[in-house]
Amino acid sequence: MRINFWLNGVKKEEEIRPDTLLLDFLRSLGCYSVKRGCETANCGLCTVLVEGRPMLSCSVLAARIDGKRIMTMEGLQGEAKEFGTFLANEGAEQCGFCNPGFIMNVIAMTKELADPTEDEIKEYLAGNLCRCSGFVGQTRSILKYLEYKKNQEKEVQA
């Protein structure tokens, strides 16, 4: 089956088998930030953005992206690096295995929620599992990142 889609801003046309998982398909295209974790849509490691919304690629067939825009961390290097610095500064990166999925959800959250409370942040990111941290450093890094982004916007408006 042939599908057309945009991957990280580049128009693509690919031949796939109807039973191909989006996770496997994206990795076959070199998007190694998309990781296999639980394979039950419970850990968030395989998160990608489809039309700007987070989606767990381990539970979606690649055929579902026909005509859609997909972003992986490979396409969001600037934003990922910017937030990743806050994550590292709070000691919240630990082993780093869960970081790509976590960062993808944080990026999606910043586009979806204008000024989230700490409870809204926790709720939005509830599907991301990290075995190394207690999420305190991660939450701190998000709050500091959001404050930084607010200050940047104020400087642009001034």
Q: What is the per-residue pLDDT for 81?
A: 93
Enumerate residues 6+ apart whose C-beta is below 8 A from 9.
71, 75
The CATH label, of 3.60.140.10, 3.30.420.40, 3.10.20.30, 3.30.70.141, for the domain at 2-74 is: 3.10.20.30
Band of pLDDT at residue 98, cut at 50, 70 and 90: confident
Look at the alpha carbons of 70, 133, 79, 149 in this order and tell me if their dihedral is positive or negative. positive
Share of the chain above pLDDT 90, in %: 63
Lowest mean pLDDT among 23-32, 35-44, 76-85: 35-44
Is the pLDDT reported for residue 107 higher than 90? yes
Is the pLDDT reported for residue 92 higher than 80? no
Domain boundaries, the chain: 2-74, 76-157
Cross-sheet strand order for the sheet of 53-56: 10-15, 2-7, 69-71, 47-50, 53-56
The pLDDT of 47-61, averaged and rounded, is 95
CB atoms within 10 A of CB 131: 10
Higher pLDDT, residue 26 or 156: 26
Report, at the CATH architecture level, how domain 76-157 is classified.
Orthogonal Bundle (1.10)
- Residue 79, H or E segment: helix 77-89
- pTM tops 0.85, yes or no: yes
Q: What is the per-residue pLDDT for 96?
A: 67
Is the pLDDT reported for residue 71 higher than 80? yes
